[in-house]
Each structure stands twice: as structure tokens, then as C-alpha cells.
């Protein structure tokens, strides 16, 4: 597995965490924070994967 794929998997993990936090009615700031981290990881993983291919 390439490092880019690992970053994408970590981003997907954080997406699941954000959805779970939302369903548990956690504070909005924590859901937004996890969602921003997920978007950053997925964006960086997709960028680094596209550059390395």
C-alpha cells in the first residue's frame, strides 16, 4: 500500500467518525473539526496519489 492510499483510508476513517459523532448528537464544533480533518486528509491523499501516478 502506498502512503497516499493510507492517507485516503485515514480520511475515510475520520468521515465515519464525523458521521458517528453527528448521530450521537455530539457538539457541532467537534463534528465540524473531524469533518475538516477528513476533508484535508482525503484532499491531500487524492492530490499526492494523482501526482505520483
**C-alpha cell of 40?**
484535508
pTM across the whole model: 0.91
Q: How many residues does the chain have?
A: 53
CA distance 16 to 1: 21
CA distance 53 to 31: 33
What ranges do the domains of the chain cover?
A: 3-52
Residue 53, pLDDT > 90, answer: no
Cβ(21)–Cβ(31) below 8 Å: yes
Contact residues for 41 (Cβ-Cβ < 8 A; gap 6+):
7, 8, 10, 11, 14
pLDDT, tens digit (0-9, with 9 covering 90-100), for 26-35: 999 999 999 9
Residue 36, pLDDT > 80, answer: yes
Amino acid at each position: 500500500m502506498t502512503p497516499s492510499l493510507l492517507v485516503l483510508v485515514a480520511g475515510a476513517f475520520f468521515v465515519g467518525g464525523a458521521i458517528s459523532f453527528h448521530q450521537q448528537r455530539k457538539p457541532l464544533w467537534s463534528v465540524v473539526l473531524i469533518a475538516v480533518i477528513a476533508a484535508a486528509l482525503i484532499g491531500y491523499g487524492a492530490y499526492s496519489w494523482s501526482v505520483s501516478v
